[in-house]
Amino acid sequence: MFDRRALAIHARVTRLQLDEFPLPRRLFEETVENLYREDRFVHGTLQVGERQTGITRLRAPVIAVINPVGGIVPPQSVLAGLDAVPDLPYQVLEYQADRGPVMQHLGPLVAPFAHEYLWPRILDWVDHHA
């Protein structure tokens, strides 16, 4: 099926990808090592400048948009991190785009259905917590 709206969004996301510049190698390697392999933010051992930080230092409510079939950020990984903080108020929005850009990490946020379903829920959450 031809969906002009989905095609337009896909073209803009593709343009965005083409406009990006590569991360410096050291930054990329440190990000992968610290945040993904060693999970330092969840363990509270992430060093940012001269400060050590982690998820337990969060003091504001958190909203997590989870793609239930996500392979880049598995839902159980996000939930385990949030559950690791006893008094952290959070809300999870599960959302899987049914059409639009085929990009697991960005597609659900920019697909046409996201504008009708997901973003109004996110904005309502923000209004409630502002």
Angle at 85 between CA 80 and CA 86, to 5 degrees: 115
Distance CA(94)–CA(65), nearest Å, equals 6
| pTM of the complete model | 0.73
Average pLDDT over residues 25-45: 93
User: For position 73, what pLDDT does the model report?
Assistant: 78
Q: Which two tokens stand for residue 11?
A: 């073209």
Q: How many domains does the chain have?
A: 1
pLDDT tens by residue, 53-99 = 999 998 899 999 887 777 777 888 888 889 988 888 999 988 766 55
User: For position 130, what pLDDT does the model report?
Assistant: 84
User: For position 96, what pLDDT does the model report?
Assistant: 66
Contact yes or no for 101/9 (Cβ under 8 A): yes
- Full domain range(s) for residue 112: 4-129
